[in-house]
């Protein structure tokens, strides 16, 4: 009896992002990264198979790679902002305690960190 594949797409949310980050860490620890510091194609294939088993949802390798790049970019932006503001970062709440003029000044230089003005970086400890 042949195994049939589920063709419903995988949509990421808070829980699936955590699963994705943990799987990516596992793949990096076992197989490492490619020369551009990204996950290897074989790692994306492994994660795709695990995602099908875990969530009964399918995802293309391109979709997984784009999600990886999105999460990686957000984390790098958050680290840059955290280093830039220093003591204005609140470890307990995970927010940045900056005044409006400070935000305006930072957003002129780093417009991509705007999301952290009203939101926290989820799974920042992973």
3-state secondary structure (DSSP) of residue 7 = coil
- Does residue 114 belong to any structural domain of this protein? yes
Residues 54, 76 within the same domain? no
**Structural domain of residue 28, as residue ranges?**
14-59
Residues 82, 50 within the same domain? no
Q: What percent of the chain has pLDDT over 70?
A: 93
pLDDT tens digit sequence for 82-97: 999 989 999 889 899 9
pLDDT tens digit sequence for 68-87: 999 999 999 999 999 999 89
Total domains present in the chain? 2
Residues 47, 76 within the same domain? no
Residues 116, 76 within the same domain? yes
The pLDDT of residue 126 is above 90: no
Residues 76, 49 within the same domain? no
Residues 54, 77 within the same domain? no
> Where do the H-state alpha helices sit in 1-126?
14-31, 41-55, 61-85, 100-109
Q: What is the pTM of this model?
A: 0.83
- Does residue 8 belong to any structural domain of this protein? no
Residues 22, 55 within the same domain? yes
Residues 54, 80 within the same domain? no
What does the alpha-carbon distance between residue 118 and residue 16 come to, in Å, rounded to a whole number? 22
Is residue 124 within 8 A of residue 92, CB to CB? The reply is no
Residues 103, 76 within the same domain? yes
Give the model's pLDDT for residue 124: 77
Give the model's pLDDT for residue 14: 84
Residues 78, 115 within the same domain? yes
CA distances 78 to 31, 72, 111, 123, Å, are: 26, 10, 12, 12
Give the model's pLDDT for residue 80: 95
- Does residue 23 belong to any structural domain of this protein? yes
Mean pLDDT for the chain overall: 90
Is residue 110 within 8 A of residue 77, CB to CB? The reply is yes
Give the model's pLDDT for residue 97: 93
Is residue 10 within 8 A of residue 58, CB to CB? The reply is yes
pLDDT tens digit sequence for 103-123: 999 999 999 999 999 988 887
């Amino acid at each position: 009896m042949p195994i049939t594949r589920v063709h419903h797409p995988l949509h990421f949310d808070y829980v699936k992002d955590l699963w994705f980050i943990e799987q990516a860490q596992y793949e990096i620890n076992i197989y490492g990264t490619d020369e551009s510091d990204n996950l290897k194609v074989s790692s994306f294939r492994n994660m795709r198979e695990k995602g099908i088993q875990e969530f009964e949802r399918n995802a293309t390798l391109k979709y997984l790679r784009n999600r990886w790049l999105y999460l990686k970019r957000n984390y790098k932006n958050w680290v840059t902002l955290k280093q830039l503001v220093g003591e204005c970062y609140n470890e307990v709440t995970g927010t940045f305690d900056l005044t409006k003029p400070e935000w305006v000044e930072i957003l002129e230089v780093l417009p991509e960190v705007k999301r952290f003005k009203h939101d926290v970086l989820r799974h920042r400890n992973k």
